[in-house]
């Protein structure tokens, strides 16, 4: 199996994910300090939305990885199909030659 290289999108997504995670955690902690560590609807919704954002970043990274792996699989499949086509053609020629020899 071919080794996959990290593309530009993944290099950009990694620091953006870390920044979003750190900034979101810092903002939620700041909100908790302001409210006196009382968990209200504002903090609850902030944590929930932050977790959704982290989840979306993870899903984006997984989808990009799957897309890259599928392109490798498709290329390998096309090569195998070409080889099978050649093998079938060779076998067909061999069968034709055998039939000619049998008819003689």
Q: Are 18 and 47 in contact (CB under 8 A)?
A: no
Q: How far is CA 73 from CA 7, 9, 66, in A?
A: 17, 20, 10
Note the pTM of the prediction, 2 decimals: 0.68
Query: Considering only CA atoms, which of 68, 71, 62 is closest in space to residue 13?
Result: 62
What's the average model confidence in pLDDT over 20-46? 90
d(CA 51, CA 48): 5
Q: Which pLDDT does position 2 carry in this prediction?
A: 59
Instruction: Give the confidence band of 37 by pLDDT, cuts at 50, 70, 90.
Output: confident
What's the average model confidence in pLDDT over 31-53? 90
Q: Are 46 and 31 in contact (CB under 8 A)?
A: yes
CA-based torsion, 13, 14, 15, 20: positive or negative = positive
Q: Which pLDDT does position 6 carry in this prediction?
A: 81
Q: Inform me whether the pLDDT recorded for 41 exceeds 60.
A: yes
pLDDT, one tens digit per residue, over 55-91 is 999 999 999 889 988 988 999 999 999 999 999 999 9
Q: How many helices (H) and strands (E) does the chain have?
A: 2, 0
Give residue limits of the domains in the chain: 8-73
């Amino acid at each position: 199996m071919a080794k996959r290289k990290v593309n530009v999108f993944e290099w950009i997504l990694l620091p953006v994910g870390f920044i979003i995670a750190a900034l979101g955690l810092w903002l939620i902690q700041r909100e908790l300090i302001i409210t006196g560590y009382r968990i209200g609807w504002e903090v609850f919704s902030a944590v929930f939305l932050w977790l959704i954002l982290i989840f979306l970043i993870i899903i984006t990274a997984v989808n990009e990885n799957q897309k890259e792996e599928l392109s490798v699989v498709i290329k390998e499949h096309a090569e195998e199909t070409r080889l099978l086509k050649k093998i079938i053609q060779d076998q067909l020629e061999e069968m034709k030659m055998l039939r000619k020899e049998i008819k003689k």
